[in-house]
Amino acid sequence: METIEEEKIVDAARVILRALDSNKEISDETMKILADLGARLTSMGKIIEKIVAWEGEESMIWDCDPEEAKEYLKTVDEARRLGERLEGLSLSKEENELLRNVNGVLQTSMVRIEEEFRHILVNNRQNFEPEHMSFRSSEDDGLDLNSVVSFGDDSIDDSIQRDSISRGAEVYIMDLINPQVIPDLRSIASLMFDSNYGRECSQAFISARKDALDDCLFILEVEKLSIEDVLKMEWVALNSRIRRWTKAIRIFVRVYLSSEKFLCEQIFGQNESVSSICFCESSKASILQLLNFAEAIAIGPHQPEKLLRILDMYEALADLMPDIEGLYSDENGSYIKTECEDVLKRVGDCVKATFIEFENAVGSNTSNSAFPGGGNHHLTRYVMNYIKTLTDYGDSLNVCLKDDQSFSSSPDINQWIDDDDSSNEKSSSSPMAVHFRSLMSILECNLEEKSKLYRDDALGYIFMMNNINYMAEKVKNSELRNVLGDDWIRKRNWKFQQYAMSYERATWSSILNILKEDGLSNSGSSSSTSRTLLREKLQAFYTAFEEIYKSQTGWSIPNIQLRDDLRISISLKAIQAYRTFIGRHANNISERYIKYAADDLENYILDLFEGTPKSLHGFLRK
């Protein structure tokens, strides 16, 4: 009905002007419309007076009296409508002056309303910080030993593990602005767009909300860092910031950005395009700040100790991609969505490069001296605990390592890999499994080189037995079993048993040879000669046993079951041979030449491989 009325006013005004020019008579209907228009024009002065009076107030209208604020909006809207009606008429010089006055008042009002709009947005913010958003924890700022330990660090243990981060947090919509002022904001936005001040309204909203989202990042303890700042940062500090980032981006996207889009829809819902533009522009700086940090990590040095943290970043971003695609679904958000996809790819490439660097670091890890005691090397423990944790990232690693052929070119390592793959169909193996088998082969080849540093071959065999057994047990009792397979475990069990047998031959074959009957059964030998030879054999046996005891009590076999099994095997061979030797020649050996009883030797064998050197010199049979 309002449009029809406006058309009547315009038509009437044109009829009046033509009639006055030609001195024709004017119809009664035209006179009525002219009178109505005159009444409205008369009210214009009152409207302008009202607006000017409000403009004289320095305080914010919405802070003083919400009802008066609504009246103010209504008055400005009425002035806008009258101005639009006047613009449709052919006006005289005086009437044009009136229109200019109306437009001037409207412009002044729009400036005031824009200030009110911004003021309401800023002063009614609600920075909701539920308990699960709190990051002010000492553990985040402290040293994460498991992430910075080096291959040679003696502190490495079985405690390497990923951060316990919720990987499936639900979207949570909260009121970023006090809900009570949303109707006012919506009314102001509607009036400004109707008055052709939509651009100013949008810019005011974007500016206010951009600052608000910056504050949200501050609440989440995300610092503004340049790429150069990140690249210069020490790992301990960087590690802490990555952990915060990983938690913060989930909350920022699923809570703050989701709520920000809802706020835009509440205020500009009648215009989807405006709502989308305002959301994209207000959130762009904050989301790019988060992405820039991830990009800085991706282009930084590919140090192996960073791998778990980089995987955390990759999984966080990959997990959020459906949310980001939903938030930035139209053309206005295509730039941000593309940036997220590009950064995700770069972080994924960084995961691949860092894992390959990890493989290279394992292969190139060298030692100048043999590992004391022949126990489980730090490198073995580090690598096995590390890849055990990496199995938690199986899906991500399979994506990042897909189609990668960066394997070692070393013939020795390739031989280890070929042996492992002989009973496995490569085509059916996941990229992670292929790389893990390669890494295990690299580790074994490296350990083989380290075993050559021992002057005593027997200790080298103990070293290899320990470390291969450690690898097999670690795989058997973890998710690695599903990755490497039972056949891999069986081969390692066979290998460490072979090393155990090699140790026994290297250590005990010579001592058992002493107890052989060589030279004792010759018919031409006198009884005196035989007894002398028996004494010499016993003395040689005791000397050899004492030397073994002195050295091998200092050797280490950390696995209790493996240690006990080897002791039993030694007893079955050495002690049984000693018992037989003493029993067979009991009549020809004086009691005083028997330094140790068989039971004593058996007990002494129980002291072997404890890692604490002992000596039998001075010990005599009781």
Question: How does DSSP assign 500-524, residue by residue?
Answer: HHHHHHHHHHHHHHHTS-TTTS-TT
Distance CA 541, CA 306 (A): 54
Identify the band that residue 66 occupies on the pLDDT scale cut at 50, 70 and 90: confident
Q: What angle do CA 240, 241, 244 make, to 5 degrees?
A: 90
* Plot region of 251 (φ>0 → left; ψ -120 to 50 → alpha; else → beta): alpha
In sequence order, what are the residues at sequence separation of 6 or more whose Cβ sits closer than 8 angstroms to the Cβ of residue 168? 319
Three-class secondary structure of residue 91 per DSSP: coil
Can you read off the two tokens belonging to residue 274? 């405006």
Rounded to whole angstroms, how far apart are CA atoms 86 and 543?
122
What pLDDT score was predicted for residue 166? 47
* pLDDT classification of 147: cutoffs 50, 70, 90: very low
Q: 369-378, 386-395, 425-434, 446-455: which has the minimum mean pLDDT?
A: 425-434
**Separation between Cα atoms, residue 6 and residue 454, nearest integer Å:** 103
State the distance between the two ends of the chain, measured CA to CA, in whole angstroms. Answer: 123
User: What does the angle CA 443 – CA 388 – CA 427 come to, to the nearest 5 degrees?
Assistant: 75
Mean pLDDT of the chain: 81
> 435, 466 in Cβ contact below 8 A?
no
Per-domain boundaries in the chain: 2-123, 131-135+167-343, 365-500, 515-605
Amino acid at position 398, single letter: N
50-64, 67-81, 346-360, range with the lowest pLDDT: 50-64
Pair 563, 618: CB distance under 8 Å: no
Altogether, the residues listed in the chain come to a count of 622
Nearest to 578 by CA among 548, 611, 610, 613: 548
Q: How many helices (H) and strands (E) does the chain have?
A: 26, 0
Cβ pair 275, 185 in contact under 8 A: no
Residue 132, pLDDT above cutoff 80: no
Q: Are 89 and 33 in contact (CB under 8 A)?
A: no
Q: What tokens appear for 10 in the block?
A: 């315009």
Q: How confident is the model at residue 144 (pLDDT cuts 50, 70, 90)?
A: very low
Q: What is the dihedral of CA 605, 610, 612, 615, to 10 degrees?
A: 0
Residue type, 393: Y
CB atoms within 10 A of CB 149: 20
Q: What pLDDT does residue 107 have?
A: 77
pLDDT by residue (tens digit) across 196-223?
889 999 999 999 999 999 999 999 999 9
Rounded CA gap, 121 and 189, in Å?
A: 12
At 268-306, the pLDDT tens digits run 987 889 999 999 999 999 999 999 999 999 999 999 989
The closest of 41, 21, 47 to 85, measured between CA atoms, is 41
**Alpha-carbon gap, residue 324 to 280, rounded angstroms:** 11
Q: What is the pLDDT of residue 138?
A: 38
* pLDDT tops 90 at residue 152: no
Q: How far apart are CA 183 and CA 54, in angstroms?
A: 21
pLDDT (0 to 100) of residue 586: 78
Assign a CATH topology to domain 131-135+167-343: 5 helical Cullin repeat like (1.20.1310)
Angle between helix 378-390 and helix 307-327 axes, rounded to 10 deg: 10
pLDDT recorded at residue 87: 60
CB atoms within 10 A of CB 207: 15
| Structure token pair of residue 561 | 């079951």
The Cα angle at residue 385 between residues 423 and 168, in degrees rounded to 5: 95
**Is the CB of residue 341 less than 8 Å from the CB of residue 333?**
no
Place of tokens 């002690």: 575
pLDDT band for position 36 (50/70/90)?
low
Helix, strand, or coil (residue 277):
helix
Do 125 and 66 meet the contact criterion of CB atoms below 8 Å apart?
A: no
Report residue 614 as tokens. 């002992």
> Which residue would you say has higher pLDDT here, 202 or 172?
202
Instruction: Determine if residue 376 is left, alpha or beta; phi over 0 gives left, psi from -120 to 50 gives alpha, anything else beta.
Output: beta
Q: Which residue has the higher pLDDT, 409 or 473?
A: 473
Give phi and psi for 479, each to the nearest 5.
-65, -15
DSSP codes, 5-63: HHHHHHHHHHHHHHHHHHT----HHHHHHHHHHHHHHHHHHHHHHHHHHHHT--S-HHH
pLDDT band at 524 (very low <50, low <70, confident <90, very high): very low
Q: Is the model's pLDDT at 55 over the cut of 50?
A: yes
HSE at residue 8, side-chain half, CA atoms within 13 A, is 14
User: 484 near 472, Cβ under 8 Å?
Assistant: no
As a whole number, mean pLDDT of residues 457-486 equals 96
The 8-class DSSP code of residue 1 comes to: -
The rounded distance, in Å, linking the Cα atoms of 396 and 411 is: 30
The yes-or-no verdict on residue 149 having pLDDT over 50 is no
Given this model, what pLDDT does residue 65 score? 72
- Which phi and psi (to 5°) does residue 455 adopt? -70, -35
Secondary-structure breakdown of the chain: helix, strand, coil percentages, each rounded to the nearest 5: 75, 0, 25
**Among all chains, which residue has been given the structure tokens 């660097």?**
357
